[in-house]
Structure 1
Amino acid sequence: MPMTPEALYIQLGQIITEMPDLRNHGWNNPMGQQWLGRAAVLVEAAGDMADAINFKITAQGLSSNAYVPGHDSAVQRMTAILYQALARAEMRVPAASRNGFIPTGEPYTALSAVARAFGGSSHSIFIIDPYADANLLDEYVLQAGEGVSIRILADAQGVKPGLAPAMRRWLTQFSTTRPLEIHLAPARTLHDRLIIVDGTTVWSIGQSFNALATRSPTALVKFDEETAALKVAAYDQLWSASPALT
């Protein structure tokens, strides 16, 4: 049974945000090989057979040595094909589901995309970002509506030193109107970058907020309901087991 346009768009966005580090052996393990297989199937489902064939042939040319001539250009070709497939899929979905693609070097587009995700919140936003920094509060969380409570789960090892003082400044100014809590998960236990709105709607974002679309394009994509429920349950449990940032 063929996928609906919405399902294809969501899955292409997810595969892009889950892309392993293809330049540095991220494809050369069981999880990387599984990702390549899923990506090839989705590119084919997007409907351009030339792109589908090109993706498969290019993937076969990846080298276990990232310094071999042609490896870097192969990664670039594969990435471009995936984003072309995402763009084609985006044209087939309702307007309300579009605009998840964030090009490189477009900070306003990134801010607008995150603001749209935040805009659906009535009472809570839960952000998972291993490398959270002060700019997450200063640039992005400020887009949330007044009265919306904010939780941020960062990595105890990856969190940036600027987050703690930014949190204290935030609480001094907004403690009653914009409640904020930050917890630190054990090192290397966070494998997603997510925005969870009102405990039900889950958006996946391909990069940490501290470098959003500065070096490469990314996508902000809504999960389907079943996957969203699994993500919410898993990260609520991890939140409860993680200590607060002070």
Structure 2
Amino acid sequence: MSEFSAEDLYRRLGRLIEEAPPFGGVAPLTTDQLTWIGRAEALVERGGDIGAKAEFGAAKLSLALPSTRAMGHQTMMMAIHKVLAAAELASPAGAQGAFIPVGSPFDAYSAVAKIFAAAASDILVVDPYMDDTMLLDFAGAVSDHVALRLLSDQQSAKASLGPAAAKWWTQYPHRKIQVRLAAARTLHDRAILVDGKGAWTVTQSFKDLAKRSPAEIVRGDDIAALKVAAYEQIWNSAEVVI
């Protein structure tokens, strides 16, 4: 069996936490819950932390009994987060901070701002459900000399996006911003494209980023060229808002 890199383990654990099923109630564990536990145990073992492995094993037994299920679930998640933290520290600096815990608005801002700060000339943000949150919470992290392009969907973009962009343009005329709407249902993913070569996939819309569930921002060097080409084509044919 092939070995995981620390970065791969970090991303897999982040996705595992994001997909965690609820463990309340007194009914027997479902197939989905058991499948998730199996995946979690395999990843914790890959982390190599004997203490975390022991904690996870004890917590797994507690999940079988409704009376101890809540405590077992909490202990299990603590063990997973322990392995997640160790994997993050061992990952390259560019990969750290990709996983954003639920209810962590500053972590969400910090993760996006770090990507924006790496731009030399151009940022294209893609989000079919974009609203004014992109401008209110994130756009301030873009350097003055970098062009910010926002691409949303004609059908699902929120009404607040256009007016917010117009007000931004009025207040900051020296800062380059463009907003366009792609044809209805053209967009399905959330992405950040930097300088026509770097590509990040975001697991949630920016208006909801990590508010109700964990989120992840994943750099995709292996598919960056394909994403850039695809979204530039959509951008060129999209409706101009500003």
TM-score normalized with structure 2 length: 0.71
**What residue identity is the alignment partner of 2:209?**
L
Inter-partner Cα distance in structure 2 for 1:241 and 1:77? 51
Aligned to 2:25: none
For residue 171 of structure 1, what is the aligned residue in structure 2?
169
- Do 1:205 and 1:218's aligned partners in 2 also have CA atoms closer than 8 Å? yes
CA distance in 2, matches of 1:241, 1:76: 49
- CA gap of 1:193–1:243, structure 2 versus 1, over 3 A, is same
Question: Unpaired runs of 5+ in structure 2?
Answer: 23-37, 59-72
Counterpart pick for 1:194 among 191, 195, 209: 191
CA offsets per residue over residues 50-71 of structure 1, 9 Å max, x none?
89999xxxxxxxxxxxxxxxxx
Name the counterpart of 1:3: 4
Shift of 1:78: 10
Secondary structure of 2:218's aligned partner? strand
Letter aligned with residue 232 of structure 2: D
2:202 to 188, 202, 205: 205
How much does 1:177 deviate? 2.6
**What is the rounded CA distance, in whole Å, between the counterparts of 2:105 and 2:161 in structure 1?**
20
Question: How many Å separate the matches in 1 of 2:122 and 2:234?
Answer: 17
Q: What CA distance in whole angstroms lies between the structure 1 residues aligned with 2:197 and 2:155?
A: 28
Alignment of 1:31-46 (within 5 A): 45-46=46-47
| Whole-angstrom distance in 2 between the partners of 1:168 and 1:43 | 49
Q: Is the 8 A contact 2:56 2:75 kept in 1?
A: no
Number of aligned positions between the proteins = 230
Greater relative contact order structure (CA < 8 Å, 6+ sep)? 1
Give the structure 1 partner of residue 91 of structure 2: 93
Contact 1:46 1:89 in 2 (8 A): yes
Identify the range of structure 1 (45-54 vs 114-123) with the bigger mean alpha-carbon deviation: 45-54
Aligned mate of 2:216, from 210, 216, 219? 219
2:240 counterpart letter in structure 1: A
Is 1:16–1:218's contact at 8 Å kept on the other side of the alignment?
A: no
Are 2:232 and 1:236 aligned? yes
Deviation of residue 159 (structure 1)? 0.7
Alpha-carbon RMSD: 4.2
Q: Name the aligned partner's letter for residue 119 of structure 2.
A: S
- 5+ long unaligned stretches in structure 1: 24-36, 55-74
1:38 and 1:157, CA in 2 relative to 1: closer, same or farther beyond 3 A? farther
